[in-house]
Structure formats: C-alpha cells, structure tokens
C-alpha cells in the first residue's frame, strides 16, 4: 500500500470538502443551513473519493479499497480533529463530542468508505482477479 499517496489524497479530499461545506453557508437554499451544509458535503464526497481512488490506483496498485478508503478517511478525521473542530465548530458553540457523535458525520464517514470500496470492486478487483489466472 502506498500510504503516503493515500494520506495526501485524504488531505486533498478534506481541503475540498471543507471548502464546499463552508461555501454552502453563503448560498442558502434550505432554512436549516447546517442540514444544507451536510447535504452538500454528502453530495461532494462521492465524486471526491471516487476520483481520489482513481488517482490512487492509477499506477496499478492492488491494495484493497477498504484499506485505501480507511486511510483517506482517517486522514480527513484527523484534520477534522486538529483544524475543523477548533476553528469552525468550537467558536460557534459546538464541541468535539457533538461533532464526532452527530449522525451526519457517521453517514458521511460510511459513505466515504463505501465509495472507496465500490471503486475497488468496480475498477480494480476485476483486473486483479483476471491477472491471477
């Protein structure tokens, strides 16, 4: 597994996701802007993880998609703990507990892993299985 590559992709996903999440507050189309931001993040994470997975496997790596997704996700979660919560959540009355126990956080984390896993099964696993024959 190319851990450095997966970590760098996790950082890139986090940067772009935080950008979209933050910008969604400036273009309100729902009354509940927090729900709106989570919806935007849910939508944005799918292509971000898909394209990051495509970039990760571009050089022919065969590492299981769950491990790649987990590495990218844990990188993003670490950045959430180090930057997102102290800078964007705590100043507005939130805390670590509410951030990391919210249902939206866990749905998006599950989606993150699922997209990486689906990419592996769709684009990597078929070629891995045929190359063993």
Name residues whose C-beta falls within 8 Å of residue 66's C-beta, 6 or more positions apart in sequence. 113, 116, 117, 120
Among 42, 3, 2, which Cα is nearest to 20's? 42
pTM > 0.85: yes or no? yes
- The yes-or-no verdict on residue 32 having pLDDT over 80 is yes
Residue 71 in tokens: 């590495």
Q: And the tokens for 114?
A: 């699922």
Q: Is the pLDDT of residue 120 over 90?
A: yes
List, for residues 48-95, the tens digit of each pLDDT value: 999 999 999 998 899 999 999 999 999 999 999 999 999 999 999 999
- Rounded distance, CA 47 to CA 52, Å? 8
Unique residue bearing structure tokens 């992709």:
9
> 36 near 28, Cβ under 8 Å?
yes
List Cα–Cα distances, 39 to 4, 20, 60, 75, 87, in angstroms. 30, 11, 33, 21, 21
Structure confidence at residue 44 as a pLDDT band (50, 70, 90): very high
Average pLDDT of every residue of the chain: 95
């Amino acid at each position: 597994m190319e851990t450095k590559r997966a970590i760098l992709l996790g950082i890139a996903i986090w940067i772009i996701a935080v950008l979209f999440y933050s910008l969604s507050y400036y273009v309100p189309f729902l009354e509940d802007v927090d729900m709106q931001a989570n919806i935007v993040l849910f939508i944005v994470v799918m292509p971000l993880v898909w394209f990051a997975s495509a970039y990760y496997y571009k050089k022919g790596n065969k590492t299981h998609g769950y491990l790649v997704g987990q590495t990218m996700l844990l990188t993003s979660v670490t950045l959430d703990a180090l930057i997102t919560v102290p800078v964007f959540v705590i100043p507005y009355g939130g805390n670590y507990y509410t951030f990391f126990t919210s249902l939206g956080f866990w749905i998006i984390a599950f989606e993150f892993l699922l997209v990486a896993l689906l990419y592996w099964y769709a684009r990597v696993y078929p070629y891995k299985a045929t190359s063993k024959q």
